[in-house]
Chains A and B, each alone.
Chain A
Amino acid sequence: MRDVLLDRIQFGLTASFHFIFPPLSLGIGLMLVIFGVQSLRTKDPKWRQLSMFWVRIYGLIFAMGVATGIVMEFEFGTNWSVYSRYVGNVFGSLLAAEGIFAFMLEGGFLGLMLFGGARLGNRLWLFATSMVVVGAHFSAVWIIMANSWMQTPQGYEITQGPNGPMAVMTNFWEVAFTPSFIPRLLHVLVASWMLGAAMVASVSAWYLLKQRHVDVAKTMLRVALPIFCVLSVLQVAVFGAQQATVVAEQQPVKLASMEGLWETRECAPLYLFGWVDTDSETTSGVSIPCMLSVLVGFTPDTQVQGLNEFPADERPNINLVFQVYHAMIDLGMLFVGVSALVAFTAWRRRLYTSTLVLRVLVVNVVLVFAAIIAGWWTAEFGRQPWIVWDQLRTVDAASPNLSTTTVAISLIGFVIVYSVLLVVFFWLLNQKIQAGPPDPQDSEEVESLPDSFGEIFARRPRASSRVG
Chain B
Amino acid sequence: MWLNQLWFVLYVVIIGGYVILDGFDLGVGMLSPFVARSDHDRRVLLNSIGPVWDGNEVWLVLGGGALFAAFPFVYASLFSGFYLALMAVLLVLIMRAVAIEFRSKRPGARWRTTWDWFFTISSTGIAFLLGVALGNVLRGVPIDDQGNLNVDFLSLLSPYALMLGVAGVLMLALHGGIFLTMKVQDELLERVERLVPRLMVAFFVAMTVVVAWTLFLPEDFAQNFRDRPWTAVFPAAAFGAVLVAWRAIRAGAYGRAFAASASMIALLMASVAAALYPVMLPASNDPANSLTIYNAASTQETLTVMLVVAVIGMPFVFLYTAGVYYFFRGRVQLDDDSY
Contacts of A456 in B (CB 8 A): 327
Identify which of residues 158-178 in chain A touch chain B, using a CB-to-CB cut-off of 8 Å: 161-163, 168-170, 172
Contact: A169 with B301, CB < 8 Å? yes
Main secondary structure of the interface of B (DSSP, over half): helix
Question: When the two chains form the complex, which single residue of A67, A103, A464 contacts B62, counting CB atoms closer than 8 Å?
Answer: A103
Q: Give the CA-CA distance A399 to B55 in the complex, in Å.
A: 31
- Which of B35-43, B86-94, B227-235, B243-251 touches A? B86-94
Which of A74, A88, A168, A461 has the most B CB atoms < 10 Å from its CB?
A: A88
Looking at the complex, which one of B64, B80, B102, B336 makes contact with A81 (CB distance below 8 Å)?
A: B80
- Pair A70/B61 contact, Cβ less than 8 Å: yes
Contact A96 B309 (CB under 8 A): yes
- Known: A89-B298, A107-B55. Contact between A466 and B309, CB under 8 A? no
What 0/1 readout, one digit per residue, does chain B (295-314) give for beta carbons within 8 Å of chain A?
10011011001100110111
A95, closest chain B residue (CB):
B65
**Is A400 close to B, CB under 8 A?**
yes
Chain B residues whose C-beta falls within 8 Å of the C-beta of A56 in the assembled complex: 337
The answer to whether B81 has its CB under 8 Å from any CB of chain A is yes
The verdict on B328 contacting chain A, using a C-beta distance below 8 Å, is yes
Q: Which single residue of chain A is at the shortest CB-CB distance from B331?
A: A467
CB-based nearest A residue for B301: A169
Q: Which residues of B contact A81 (CB under 8 A)?
A: 76-77, 79-80, 148
A421/B69 contact (C-beta < 8 A), A109-B324, A115-B51 known: no
Determine the distance from Cα of A88 to Cα of B320 in the docked complex, in whole angstroms.
29
Q: Which chain A residue lies CB-closest to B77?
A: A81
Residue interface mask A51-76, B partner, CB < 8 A = 1: 01000100110111011111101101
B interface size (C-beta, 8 A): 75
Residue B98 is within 8 A (CB to CB) of chain A in the complex: yes
A409 CB contact (under 8 Å) in B52, B84, B95 = B84
Cβ–Cβ contact B57 & A95, under 8 A: no
Q: Residue A85 at the B interface, CB < 8 A?
A: yes
Q: Using Cβ atoms and an 8 Å threshold, which residues of chain B touch A399?
A: 76, 80, 83, 148
| Nearest residue, chain B, Cβ from A59 | B101
Q: Which residues does chain A contribute within 8 Å of B76, judged by CB atoms?
A: 77, 81-82, 84-85, 88, 399
B-contact bits for A95-125, CB 8 A (1 contact / 0 none): 1111111011111111110110111000000
Q: How far is the CB of A138 from chain B (nearest CB, A)?
A: 10
Give the docked Cα–Cα distance between A464 and B185 (Å): 12
A100 close to B313 (CB less than 8 A):
yes
Chain B residues in 8 Å Cβ range of A460:
330
Which of A59, A66, A161 has the most chain B CB atoms inside 10 A of its CB?
A66
- With A and B bound together, what is the CA distance between A417 and B65 in angstroms? 24
A100 touches B310 (CB 8 A): yes
Tell me if A42 counts as interface (CB < 8 A to partner B): no
A70 in contact with B93 (CB, 8 Å): yes
What are the residues of chain A within 8 A of B78 when measuring CB–CB?
A: 77
Contacts of A438 in B (CB 8 A): 336
Q: Please indicate which of the listed interface residues A56, A60, A78, A105 has the most CB atoms of chain B within 10 Å of its own CB.
A: A78
Q: Is the Cβ of A417 less than 8 Å from the Cβ of B62?
A: no
**Contact partners of B333 in chain A: CB under 8 A:** 463-464, 466-467
Q: Does A92 contact B (CB under 8 A)?
A: yes
Give the distance in Å from the alpha carbon of A172 to the alpha carbon of B324 in the complex: 33
Q: In the assembly, what is the distance between CA of A410 and CA of B93, in Å? A: 15
A115-B50, A466-B333 known; A78 vs B83 contact (CB < 8 Å): yes
Q: Is the CB of B150 within 8 A of A401?
A: yes
* A406 interfacial by beta-carbon distance below 8 Å: yes
Q: Which residue of the partner chain, among B87, B95, B147, B317, contacts A100 with CB atoms under 8 Å?
A: B317
Give bound CA distance, A97 to B61, whole Å. Answer: 11
Contact A70 B83, beta carbon cutoff 8 Å = no
CA A68 to CA B93, docked complex, whole Å: 9
Q: Which of B57, B306, B327 contacts A112 (CB 8 A)?
A: B327
CB-based contact B80/A71 at 8 Å? no
Cβ B73 vs Cβ A428 within 8 A: no
Contact A99 B66 (CB under 8 A): yes
B69 and A402 form a contact (CB under 8 A): no
With the chains together, A417 CA to B88 CA distance in Å?
12
Q: A66-B57, A107-B55, A461-B327 are in contact. Are A99 and B105 (CB under 8 A)?
A: no
Expressed in whole angstroms, the Cα–Cα distance for A95 and B67 within the complex equals: 10
State the Cβ distance, A214 to closest chain B Cβ, in Å.
23
Residues of B close to A410: CB separation below 8 A:
83-84, 87
Give the CA-CA distance A163 to B306 in the complex, in Å: 23
* With known contacts A74-B86, A413-B91, A96–B306 Cβ distance under 8 A: yes
**A401 touching B73 by the CB < 8 A rule?**
no
State whether B94 touches A67 (Cβ < 8 A).
yes
Task: Say whether A112 contacts B324, CB under 8 Å.
Answer: yes
Chain A residue, CB-CB nearest to B72: A88
Assess A60 versus B337: contact at CB under 8 Å? Given A67-B94, A100-B314, A461-B330: no
Q: How far is the CA of A460 from the CA of B326 in the complex (A)?
A: 10
Which residues of chain A from 350 to 390 have any CB-CB distance to chain B below 8 Å in the complex?
A: none
- Which chain A residues border B79 with CB–CB below 8 Å? 74, 76-78, 81, 84
Give A64 Cβ to nearest chain B Cβ, in Å: 8
Given contacts A111-B324, A413-B87, contact A67 B97 (CB under 8 A): yes
Give bound CA distance, A111 to B301, whole Å: 36
By beta carbon, the residue of chain A nearest B302 is A89
Nearest-neighbor residue (CB-CB) of B96 within chain A: A67
Cβ–Cβ contact A424 & B102, under 8 A: yes
> Are A99 and B61 touching (Cβ within 8 A)?
yes
Known: A81-B80, A110-B54, A170-B301. A100 touches B73 (CB 8 A): no
Chain B's nearest CB lies how many Å from the CB of A194?
26
List residues of B (15-69) whose CB comes within 8 Å of A's CBs. 50-52, 54-58, 60-62, 64-66, 68-69
A-B contact pairs, 11 of them (CB 8 A): A71-B94, A87-B72, A91-B68, A93-B309, A96-B65, A99-B64, A104-B316, A107-B57, A111-B54, A461-B327, A467-B185
Pairs of residues from A and B, 6 with the lowest C-beta to C-beta distance, nearest first: A88-B72, A464-B330, A77-B79, A111-B51, A107-B58, A92-B68
Q: In the complex, given contacts A90-B302, A108-B58, what are 17 additional A-B residue pairs having Cβ atoms less than 8 angstroms apart?
A: A59-B101, A63-B100, A66-B57, A68-B94, A71-B94, A81-B148, A84-B76, A85-B147, A92-B75, A100-B309, A103-B62, A111-B328, A162-B147, A406-B83, A406-B84, A428-B101, A467-B185
